[in-house]
Amino acid sequence: MPRSTDPLVIGGVIGDVLEPFTSSVSMGIVYNNCPQVINCCELKPSKILNRPRIEIGGDDLRTFYTLVMVDPDAPSPGNPTQREYLHWLITNIPATTGANFGEEMVSYESPRPIVGIHRIVFVLFRQLRRLTLQPPGWRQNFNTRDFAEIYNLGLPVAAMYFNCKRENDQSSGRRR
- Nearest-angstrom CA–CA distance, 34 and 140: 27
- Nearest-angstrom CA–CA distance, 67 and 122: 7
Which fold is adopted by the domain 7-165? Answer: Phosphatidylethanolamine-binding Protein (3.90.280)
Each residue's pLDDT tens digit, 21-80: 999 999 999 999 788 999 999 999 999 999 999 999 988 889 999 999 999 999 999 999
Each residue's pLDDT tens digit, 129-171: 999 988 999 999 999 999 999 999 999 999 999 999 998 766 5
Report the alpha-carbon angle 119-150-60, nearest 5: 80
Each residue's pLDDT tens digit, 106-126: 999 999 999 999 999 999 999
pLDDT over 70 at 3, yes or no: no
The pTM assigned to this predicted structure is 0.93
Q: How far is CA 78 from CA 38, 173, 174, in A?
A: 24, 10, 8
- The domain locations on the chain are 7-165
- Which of the four pLDDT bands, split at 50, 70 and 90, describes residue 176? very low
